[in-house]
Amino acid sequence: MTYSIDTENILTREAAETRSNLVSNARYTLELTLKEHATEYQGHCIVEFDYRRGGIEYLKLDFITKQIHAVTLDGKPAKEYLKGDFALYLKEDHLTEGRNTLEITYTSLFDNTGSGFHKFHDPEDSEEYMHTDFEPYDAHRLFPCFDQPDIKASYRLTVNGPSKWTYIHNTLPEHTRTKGDEITIAFKRTAVFSTYLFALVVGPYARWEDRYNRIPLGIYCRKSLEKYMDPENIFAITRESMATLEAYFDYPYPYDKYDQVFVPEFNFGAMENVGCVTFTEHYIFRHKKLYSEHLNRANTITHEMVHMWFGDLVTMKWWNDLWLNESFADYLSYFAMSKGTLFGDALEHLYVRKEWAYQQDQYATTHPIAASARDTIEAFSNFDGISYSKGASVLRQLQYYIGDEAFRAAIGQYFKRFAEQNTTLEDFLSIMSEKSGIDIVAWSRQWLQTTGVNTLMSRIENGRLMIEQQGSADNNLIRQHAIEFTGYRQSGSALVENETQKIIIDGKTADAPLKPDTAFVILNTHDHDYVKVFYSRDALATARKSLHTIEDPFARRLVWGSLWQMMRDNAFAPTEFIEMGIELAMKEKDLSILNSHIIAKIKAIVSVYLTDENRAIWMPKLNTIAHERLAKTDNSEEEQIIWFGLLLETALLSDELDYLHSLVTGAESIASLEIDQEKRWNIITRLMACGHSEAENLFSNEKELDKSDLGLKKAFMVQASRPDSAEKATSWQAFTEKSSRSTDFLRYGMKGFHWHMQKDLLTPYVDSFFEAVEKIYTERDVHYAGAFGHDLFPHWHQTPDMLNKIETFLDENGKNGDSLPALLRKQLIEQADDLKRILPILEKQRG
């Protein structure tokens, strides 16, 4: 029999289940040696584990490395093993029934994709930084391991390296020895947790220290970014979140320290490594940010802290139950923030995030919250709006349905019963049923194990509220909804809150009595339900006249969210949304609503949902309005930032571009608004893309002014945005050929490549995209491939021909593309679904 070595870096659920039946009680002892200015590092790993014979030929140990120097098994040289590109295979005949000790000495290369063991060079001061990122299946890029969530282990790490570097791990150092310029740090053995939660961060980091009761807290960032860090704010968020979560969970923080490290070229917002959370540097605010951006950062901080319990202490058995990590962290982070004093309106912003879920849930690629995950590639694809935002929304519905007391008691019991273990959906449901006295299994069948979003419509008839529920588009499923509604009476030109009721909708229709003078109703007040709400034409007329008079900002936010969903479903004209948006933007008191629900949506409509003819009409109108609003000297800086965003994205005519040029040169200024480094790059990118005569001079000067790593990446974005065929060809070559450049660097160029006003120049790259994309997804890492497939897809080509190209490409590659890489297939199906939604909206505008 010839044993088959994996040809892909992938782990199937079936293989993981087989292995977890054979392997248990794993322990890792790892020693790494790091050198300055090196492309590789040395490792020595001892893997101890109990083995139960299973009648297999080889046991797979996941491991990617450049070279293995020595392998010993139970103290003896191991010669009969197989080594593939992604794993090492041990012959079962050589394994002991019971305890085994495997030692491997090796040399590995650093990664430059943002995952694995990523290395970064800071161009400002030539310092080097390294960090790990392993979710869902990358720990074996650093050390040999059983890289799956249900083979939990403890880890004993020792690192040798330059003494000028800081070394941050999941635990505190136990012993430190310095000899000249070299240091050896032996960390304490960790608690038991899954391989993907292992962390090592290295480099000359700036550090700030604080405490929360017994827990030491640390914040770290690159030296060159130290001047931008605001540790007091981050520590305040951290302390408040930890206090709230410990009290709500009735379970103390389970680890011995809590570090938060802002690392370069991170692929996501953050990662919940045990006691050592890593964050993207985008959360280091180099310039003035909106309140909503501060809240989003605080939410990410709290989200990762929730993971210390949900995900780290108690972990899903396999990635099909990813939602047990992400949905809980997503919801409970907003919920915990709402209980504090720093961001008491956090649940309003959970509603903003739900737009991600609504969009994802209406794709053909949607999946149940409790999803399938046949392998680690499918697991990666499930890190989406369903596992995060829909799951969070449904948990909020569950909490409202059974009551907070039962919900809270179940969570506390969950941690006590399953600490340091792995769980499944059934474990969660049994505890929720036990504590609530309600059959949550039946509830879960309609919410966790189905797809699609319902739509509610209402009308007032003979003193009653009449509600109609529409089934999900894909399966016509009708669900039970626990929902709140608020009625308003008309008082002059104002809408005044009149009554609030909780009702259960259990079928296609429902009704409830109203007070006689209730004239307008908002369904799903305070957003307890996961559902779309549509309004009648009469209700829309009332909203346009009086929405701004409703005192509760959450209520106003809900109506704007409904209007956006109606626009996307072709039930409300995009031009009508713009008209109503601009009209009420002048009267909106809440700047978060102004930004998230009005101006941001108007920019999206102009970019995506208008015909070229309507775009030509509305862009100069919107640019003029933005210019006029920016001239108001009594505006706050935050309001000026919002209107400046609209000004920038609608600038196209020569006088509009000249005004941007005058802002970046200082010839003109805007009251209360600094044209900071970020805005300078954004203006120059716009001017370059539009072919402004002074763009090249500005670009040349800016490159000399900003030598930071972000400056270099922004410069590449400007280059890629040049309206020049030779520059486009050079950029395309950089994107499609193997490069020593990091994924993050190339991602910036991708974001500058496509522009609506460059359609003629970009037409050849429609076919080029389809010619290149399969190879990219086959040969490159998932982060790079995902960026290529999203950012370099020609979104501006909104035609039936483009839809046909996608569908033809899919059909030529199996049944609906099933022979394509799974992530590519998913992305193309979603892009086709977007076009199926956009094309009728465009056609309706043409009459």
CA distances from 749 to 717, 720, 746, 793 (A): 4, 6, 5, 13
* Residues in CB range of 771: below 8 A, 6 or more apart: none
| Residue 460 backbone dihedrals phi, psi, to 5 degrees | -100, 125
- Reading the block at residue 794, the tokens are 């020609």
Sign (positive/negative) of CA torsion 89, 93, 97, 103?
negative
What b/e sequence results for 25-62 when a residue is b if at least 16 CB atoms lie within 10 Å of its CB, and e otherwise?
ebebbbbbbbeeeeeebbbbbbbbbebeeeeeebbbbb
Exposed, middle or buried: residue 693 (CB in 10 Å: 0-12, 13-18, 19+)?
A: exposed
In percent, the amount of the chain with pLDDT more than 90 equals: 96
* Residues in CB range of 276: below 8 A, 6 or more apart: 168, 169, 170, 199, 201, 259, 261
The pLDDT of residue 739 is 86
From the candidates 31, 103, 135, 304, give the one annotated as an active-site residue: 304
State how far the Cα of 751 lies from the Cα of 682, in Å rounded to an integer: 12
Compute the average pLDDT of residues 248-271.
Answer: 97
The pLDDT of residue 80 is 82
The pLDDT of residue 474 is 83
Residue 457, pLDDT above cutoff 70:
yes
Residue 150, pLDDT above cutoff 70:
yes
For 291-329, write each residue's pLDDT tens digit. Answer: 999 999 999 999 999 999 999 999 999 999 999 999 999
Compute the average pLDDT of residues 675-701.
Answer: 98
- Reading the block at residue 37, the tokens are 């200015």
Instruction: Report the candidate in 795, 788, 769 with the shortest Cα–Cα distance to residue 604.
Output: 795
* Residues in CB range of 567: below 8 A, 6 or more apart: 573, 574, 577, 601, 605, 609, 841
- Reading the block at residue 564, the tokens are 């956006």
Q: CA angle at residue 176 from 140 to 28, to 5 degrees?
A: 25
State how far the Cα of 601 lies from the Cα of 20, in Å rounded to an integer: 48
For 410-426, write each residue's pLDDT tens digit. Answer: 999 999 999 999 999 99
Give the mean pLDDT of the chain.
Answer: 96
For 780-796, write each residue's pLDDT tens digit. Answer: 999 999 999 999 999 99
State how far the Cα of 499 lies from the Cα of 477, in Å rounded to an integer: 30
Q: How many residues does the chain have?
A: 847
Q: What is the DSSP letter of 673?
A: B
Q: CA angle at residue 147 from 142 to 152, to 5 degrees?
A: 110
Instruction: Report the candidate in 822, 842, 824, 847 with the shortest Cα–Cα distance to residue 375.
Output: 822
The pLDDT of residue 369 is 95
Whether 304 is catalytic is: yes
Residue 2, pLDDT above cutoff 80:
no
Whose tokens are 């939660």? That residue is 197
Q: What is the DSSP letter of 111?
A: B
- Reading the block at residue 604, the tokens are 């999206």
Helix 637-650 and helix 654-665: axis angle, to 10°?
140
Q: Cβ(786)–Cβ(821) under 8 Å?
A: no
Instruction: Report the candidate in 764, 832, 828 with the shortest Cα–Cα distance to residue 798.
Output: 832
For 60-76, write each residue's pLDDT tens digit. Answer: 999 999 999 999 999 99
> Which pLDDT band holds residue 3 (cuts at 50, 70, 90)?
low
The pLDDT of residue 295 is 98
Q: Cβ(718)–Cβ(687) under 8 Å?
A: no
pTM above 0.75?
A: yes
Instruction: Report the candidate in 645, 673, 747, 664 with the shortest Cα–Cα distance to residue 706.
Output: 664
Residue 257, pLDDT above cutoff 90:
yes
- Reading the block at residue 68, the tokens are 């293995």
